[in-house]
Amino acid sequence: HESTGLQPQPPPEEQNYGATAARGPFVPVSRDAPAKREYLIAAVLSYANLVNFMDWFIVPGILLDIQKYFKLSDGDTGLLQTVFILCYMLTAPIFGYLGDQYNRKIILGAGIFFWSGVTLGSSFINESYYWIFFLSRGLVGIGTASYSTIAPTIIADLFEEGKRTTMLSVFYIFIPVGSGLGYVLAAGMADVTGDWHWAFRVTPCMGGLALVLLIVLIPHRTQRRTAAHRALSISGTIRVAAEKPGIHRTAKSTWWQDVISLAKNWSFVWSSLGLTAMAFVTGALGMWGPVFLYRAQVVQGLVPPCLQESCDSSNSLIFGGITIGTGILGIIAGAEAARRLRKINNKADPLICATSMFVSALCLYIALMMAQTSILSTFIFIAFGELFLSVNWAVVISILLYVVTPRRQSTAIALQILVSHLLGDAGSPYLIGTISHAIQDKNAHTFQWSFWSMQYSFILCSFVGVCGGAFFLLTSFYIDEDRKEAQQ
């Protein structure tokens, strides 16, 4: 186990890490206001998260160039993001376990160094070795998993309950910001240099800076605050739970028992399926959005076909800006709407999610239908579609935290991440690309059919969005009962 570099630890015999800590005694641990160093650590981790998601979305930002360079079909191109997500999804639980057992600073540093090195190396891959490029994206996914699973736990351990929520919100706000900047960086570097390979040579430098800051600012051994410490922390003092009358210790359950219990929690099940639908739509839209907009412009005669060395990347720049703006605004608006409406209706959270999914699906469908006649309207409705999708991210996590009993929340979050990626954005880019490729094969190889094939395949996203809204509606039927049961 790690000892702290930030605060005094209790004696070894009284250190109980993990979910079982609630069964052991606790000792007084005084807690002053967070020091400047702790805010600096959170800032470094947030910056690295920014770089993390910029790396994630470089490929969609220059997808046209990559597709042309490696001579890939729509189906093969969609597989790029699928390989990335699958490697990320499958290795995240492994790094989560390693982070619980070993030094987190070393794992974080190794992850940043690894994904930055692989990203830089992928910029030198020859067109004949497209399979190595696919492999490199999978390796970047592994490096990303090592960071994404561990960094939030350090922030959670640095701050008390009130400030912890704020600092985690700041950390997660860099997901849409980093995603959008990934498009902007990729498109910008391709335009400035005339060579898309340079897009993969900027984030490794930013990752190197993050690594240096991590080494300098984060203590070699970071404090681990147990779930029990977090739950029973009052005015900065941990009380001895066993000495409090009326406080009953919860019996330890196995992982399988927790999974079975969660499977019977219908609020958790339906909200997780709703999140999966959200991930499906955002994964497909994030990968194929700029390409679809480009094909629509070609059909309208607004831009020439991509036959020159470097393709027009203006759509990626605009799409990246839309992603940044709608992501920030959506997350803030969703959290504020939930805060206000909960005072009126106990079922406000799932109803907000359901409404936003239905509206998002409608906006995306209108965008698809108008793409051949008005590119401005298409951008506007895509922006509204992304905005309403972003409304749900913070609200879904909030639902999980109050319908699942605290001792099962880590397992619930892990399962929700696994399912939402496995059935959501891990397969949607590949599925949309495969459907588009199949439609093209059965028709004339023209720019018109190239646009129509993508348009028809994208309609699936609107259908999945409607299903996601229905899942959240079903959540509202069970949420009161499951919330009361979790509180008991």
Local structure of 465: helix, strand or coil: helix
pLDDT at position 421 is 86
Q: Tell me: the pLDDT tens digits for 223-246?
A: 555 444 444 333 333 333 333 444
CA-atom Rg of the chain in angstroms = 23
Place of tokens 């739970």: 241
Contact status, residue 475 vs residue 350, Cβ threshold 8 Å: yes
- CATH fold of 34-233 reads Growth Hormone; Chain: A; (1.20.1250)
Contact status, residue 204 vs residue 119, Cβ threshold 8 Å: yes
Interior angle at CA 131, CA 454 and CA 285, nearest 5: 25
DSSP 219-235: -SS-----HHHHHHEET
| Residue 113: Cβ-neighbour burial (10 angstroms; 0-12, 13-18, 19+) | middle
pTM over 0.95: no
Local structure of 86: helix, strand or coil: helix
Rounded to whole angstroms, the Cα distance separating 318 from 372 reads 18
Query: CA-CA-CA-CA torsion for 221, 227, 229, 230, nearest 10 degrees?
Result: 100
Rounded to whole angstroms, the Cα distance separating 289 from 278 reads 15
Q: How many helices (H) and strands (E) does the chain have?
A: 19, 2
Rounded to whole angstroms, the Cα distance separating 141 from 83 reads 8
Residues in CB range of 364: below 8 A, 6 or more apart? 281, 285, 381, 382, 385, 458, 461, 462, 465
Contact status, residue 415 vs residue 259, Cβ threshold 8 Å: yes
- The answer to whether domain 265-487 has CATH 1.20.1250.20 is yes
Rounded to whole angstroms, the Cα distance separating 3 from 10 reads 9
Residue 155's alpha-carbon distances to 39, 152, 169, 218, 449, in angstroms, are 9, 5, 11, 11, 49
Q: What is the phi/psi pair of residue 238, to 5°? A: -90, 125
Residue 28's alpha-carbon distances to 16, 196, 232, 246, 308, in angstroms, are 14, 56, 11, 20, 68
Residue 362's alpha-carbon distances to 282, 292, 354, 373, in angstroms, are 15, 18, 13, 18
Rounded to whole angstroms, the Cα distance separating 173 from 278 reads 17
Rounded to whole angstroms, the Cα distance separating 379 from 40 reads 38
Of 290, 288, 284, 295, nearest in space to 313 by CA: 290
CB atoms within 10 A of CB 303: 18
Query: In the chain, which segments carry CATH 1.20.1250.20?
Result: 34-233, 265-487
Q: Tell me: the pLDDT tens digits for 165-216?
A: 677 778 878 888 888 899 899 988 988 888 889 999 999 999 999 999 988 8
Per-residue pLDDT of the chain (488 residues; tens, 9 = 90+): 433 333 444 443 333 333 333 333 433 444 445 578 888 888 999 999 999 999 888 998 888 889 888 888 888 888 888 899 889 888 877 777 777 677 888 888 999 999 999 999 999 998 888 899 999 999 999 988 888 778 887 887 787 755 766 777 788 788 888 888 998 999 889 888 888 899 999 999 999 999 999 888 877 665 555 444 444 333 333 333 333 444 444 556 677 888 888 899 999 999 999 999 999 999 999 889 988 998 999 888 888 887 665 666 778 888 889 988 998 898 888 888 888 898 899 899 999 999 999 999 999 999 999 998 999 999 999 999 999 998 888 788 778 878 888 777 767 777 887 888 889 988 899 999 999 999 988 887 888 898 999 999 999 999 999 999 999 999 999 999 988 888 87
